[in-house]
Structure 1
Amino acid sequence: MSLDLVTDFIESSKARYLQLSDDIWQYAELGYHEQQSSAAHIAALKAEGFAVREGVAGIPTAFVAEAGSGGPVIAILGEFDALSGLSQESLALTCCPSSEIVNGNGHGCGHHLLGTGAHLAAVAIKNALEREGIEGTVRFYGCPAEEGGWGKTYMTRAGLFDDVSAAITWHPGIANTIMNLESLAVKQAYFRFKGISAHAGASPHLGRSALDALELMNIGTNFLREHMIPDARVHYAITDAGGVAPNVVQPNASALYMIRAPRNRDVQQLYERVCNIARGASLMTDCELEIEVHSACSNLMRNHTLNELMQAKLKELGAPIYTQDEMAFATSMHGTTRPDEVEMAGRMLQAAWREPKALFDGIDALDNARPSQMHGSTDVADVSWVTPTVQCMTACFAFGTSPHSWQWVAQGKSAIAHKGMVLAAKTMAASALELFTNPLLLAAARTELAERLAQEPYVCPIPDGVEPPLPNPAR
């Protein structure tokens, strides 16, 4: 099907979506707190004629917007959460807090672009289905809390993707490419120790230090790192150190642990070992231990059929054309990166760059037989276990820019970021239209997934009874 159906519509409509992206950049709301961002998306989708189900999966900021009728059902996945502590002045070449963002957060992964680009693609698809009289349903999924809250995993567990024929999404990045990646599965849990307070000078023997227990757990986990598989990761943040008074035996201490490994089963085995270390620390200090699972997500299930489809559309569209001013800005921003960051970025591409440019201005090659290993995690993975899923990346930032950095936030409202978002919207919409009109291709993608699931069926990594870690309004 001609690309004109979606490209003309997107070009004529993009101005208001660029503004929506900039607005959400400024809201900079954390996972499960995205009230303004979610509401802005919902209002715009309703204005375009989408029927919206709000508060799905028991999450106030999660929603599903639908248009069309019958099958197939193609899902477009959007995100809109920011990261804490990354407030940054737009377009600045030095690290400095933003005068626009007042909450201290920042879109250090570009989810303001991700959600808005996916939103624009969904609207373009709706328009094309109506104009051409094509049967099928397009759904935009408003997915909160990708950054460690793993909202899509909870949405998957709630069955929201069970009737979806295929899912499409993207991620802002430093190249135009298909995200042919192996991601890490992850499980997060709180480890809370409870001891007995006492005067640290007069009667320390009467106390039981929860802080000692937490430190022993962290030390034990450090020793574990030598004896786990190379691609595994264990991170932690101390969420309660017990107070600031050194003359008190600390009665409470806790940490949030993030445990990653290539497969769900690897994560579960490693998680049990970490739990045993915590139990040992509890016994050594005579403290009580509470373990509470926070969230989890699976490893990504790649789909070769959809990868090839999206690669073809991306190549047909081609990279954006940049102005001299845009190239100059990219060169200046590229100058703020470190050589090791540039080298790391090059490893994620099939085409190795010996002399990398400041801005990726081509289309990277796709080699389905050689996926890149991403040592991060994404809750897109859980969707990919229940329906064929594909995602692209487009160049929205200077080459070598690291995610979760001030540079990423600084470029989030730039013309380069906007052009990358528009390219992603066109690529997603064109790929979706091909699936609506090519049932054999869609069947092949679903057969590929079924063959892999026959070897290992999907089991949601979040245990029954664990609810989304929603904000407590009383706090």
Structure 2
Amino acid sequence: MKKSIVLLLFTTFLSTSVSFSQKAQKISSNKKTALESVDKHSSELIDLSDKIWEAAEIALKENVSAKALADYAEAQGFTVERGVAEMPTAFIASYGSGKPIIGIMGEYDALPGLSQKAVPGKDPLVEGAPGHGCGHNLFGPGSLGAALAIKELIQAGKLKGTVRFYGTPAEEAVGGKIYMARAGLFNDLDACLDWHPDAENKASTQSSQAMIEVTVEFSGQAAHAAFDPWNGRSALDAVEAFVNGLNMLREHIKPSVRIHYIIEKGGEAPNIVPDYARVGLYVRDATRDGMMDVYKRVQEIGEGAALIAGVDQKMTITSGYHEQLPNIAGANVLYKNMQLVGPISYTADEIAFAKGIQRAVKMDEKGLDGTIGGIDPTAEFPTGGSTDVADISWITPEISLVATTAPIGTPWHSWAVVACGGMSIGHKGMVFAAKSLALTMVDLFENESIRKAMRDEFLEKRGDYVYKAILPEGPPPVK
């Protein structure tokens, strides 16, 4: 009996040793150096993340956040170009020369009204103030950490080419990357990478929804609502006819379509026939063509609503997002590197924090998922949501990662995400992302065949479409 146990233990030890040996052989010298770089700078990256978390600045007002990232990049030896694409909070940090040119993107804008302390219960830092309900305080520093690891390898002569970190503002509104794309800032890239906070670790193979953001304005004639309402032409009547038309349209659209709106302005007082009213509207679909088909119907409904109320109507596109082109070849490379980094482990305190979050939002107390999720090449159909990252995927091959920074089932764009982003759960996900992306970038610099496979897939999926940003004429709406 004892002999069997000893043999079993020895076999287990041998198997484990072989596993570790194989794993060690898979990690090249450059990859080991990249991992060491992220570890070396991890406390600085966490400090950057916390500074951005505390600043919590909304779209195109990320002055503290953008400066902190750009200053850090400059201090580390990057050449930094600030205020690109006519946005003061957009910048590019570059190092190296020649090809290949590999880019990586970082976001840092917050969401309005989500201020929250790093505690597992709703408790605003400042009532009504912004908060990082999408984890973008982690996104920027994590990507910059990966770029820094590559910069150090180029500096040491171990890699050749150019690494670029794109500081991309205003993802939550406006779509900063789209303005940067319109300015041609991604055109010479061989590949680009990004990541996003999530409740799982995965190499993303899923698309996103194309989206068009529209402002609909109606202008009529004011009058006394009791004394002479017949002299008035109500812009609010047009709004009501318009949104009723939208809601009737819902029966006749594909399941992939999403239409959502708010009435931004409906009048000044009940006894005044409103002469001005305004609707903010999003139309989404799985493809840009499908989205534009629905948008044509929306335009017709707007015209009809104006006729019904006897008012004038103006429909203005404020921004538009393409759907993402997933790159399976790139995702496979990323997945292998995620496995090399290994799953995220959590302390008892972190698990308790996560379960406290889940309790507070009335979800099952399942804790955290730090495992490495597998590749699903059939998951290209979007489940919802749009991103300006997608526009870049129509310009160059793009690899996307999601990393665990919040508990299982956490509602996104909520205080719960903010809470986790300001403590170690978020920090661990950020470091995991930085390491996974750094290793993947090593492969992209070293292996031309990987770049070619990604490019071939990209060209096949893009077809003969020539990218054009869906934006209004003129500069970004910086105020």
Fold-level similarity (TM above 0.5):
yes
Paired amino acid for 1:424: A
Q: Deviations over 1:292-344 (max 9, x none)?
A: 110011000000110000000001111122222112212222223444xx7xx
Paired amino acid for 1:63: F
Paired amino acid for 2:266: A
Alignment match, 1:97: 124
Alignment match, 1:449: 458
The answer to whether the 8 Å contact 2:182/2:469 transfers is no
Please state if 1:73 is matched with 2:101: yes
Please state if 1:127 is matched with 2:155: no
Alignment match, 1:346: none
Please state if 1:203 is matched with 2:228: yes
Kindly tell me the number of residue pairs found equivalent between the two proteins: 451
Please state if 1:12 is matched with 2:12: no
Alignment match, 1:349: none
Q: Deviations over 1:402-454 (max 9, x none)?
A: 11011111111111110110000001111011100001111111111111222
> 1:97: Cα distance to partner?
1.5
Please state if 1:284 is matched with 2:311: no
Alignment match, 1:352: none
Provide TM-score, normalisation by structure 1.
0.92
Alignment match, 1:348: none
> 1:357: Cα distance to partner?
3.5
Provide TM-score, normalisation by structure 2.
0.91
The answer to whether the 8 Å contact 1:200/1:247 transfers is yes
Alignment match, 2:413: 404
Instruction: Tell me the SS of whatever aligns to 2:156.
Output: helix
Q: Distance in 2 between matches of 1:56 and 1:397?
A: 32
Structure 2: runs of 5 or more not aligned:
1-27
Q: Distance in 1 between matches of 2:170 and 2:279?
A: 20
Identify the match of residue 429 of structure 1 among 438, 442, 446. 438
> 1:458: Cα distance to partner?
3.6
The answer to whether the 8 Å contact 1:319/1:363 transfers is yes
The answer to whether the 8 Å contact 2:168/2:177 transfers is yes
The answer to whether the 8 Å contact 2:58/2:111 transfers is yes
The answer to whether the 8 Å contact 2:286/2:381 transfers is no
Identify the match of residue 139 of structure 1 among 150, 164, 183. 164
> 1:150: Cα distance to partner?
1.2
Alignment match, 1:389: 398
Alignment match, 1:58: 86
Alignment match, 1:369: 378
Q: Distance in 2 between matches of 1:338 and 1:331?
A: 10
Please state if 1:114 is matched with 2:139: yes
Alignment match, 1:194: 219
Name the stretch that deviates more: 47-56 or 137-146.
Answer: 47-56
Q: Deviations over 1:136-182 (max 9, x none)?
A: 10000011111131111121111111000100110011011112212
Alignment match, 1:167: 192
Paired amino acid for 1:95: K
Alignment match, 1:305: 329
The answer to whether the 8 Å contact 1:108/1:404 transfers is yes
> 1:117: Cα distance to partner?
0.5
The answer to whether the 8 Å contact 2:317/2:472 transfers is no
Q: Distance in 1 between matches of 2:100 and 2:325?
A: 21
Alignment match, 1:88: 116
In structure 2, the CA distance between the partners of 1:467 and 1:217, relative to structure 1 (3 Å rule), is: farther
> 1:463: Cα distance to partner?
4.5
Q: How does 1:330-345 map to 2 (within 5 A)?
A: 330-339=354-363
The answer to whether the 8 Å contact 2:96/2:160 transfers is yes
Instruction: Tell me the SS of whatever aligns to 2:60.
Output: coil
Identify the match of residue 346 of structure 2 among 308, 322, 326. 322
Q: RMSD across aligned C-alpha pairs, in angstroms?
A: 1.5
Identify the match of residue 269 of structure 1 among 290, 293, 302. 293
Which is higher, the Rg of structure 1 or of structure 2?
Answer: 2
Paired amino acid for 1:34: E
The answer to whether the 8 Å contact 1:21/1:113 transfers is yes
Q: Distance in 1 between matches of 2:134 and 2:34?
A: 26
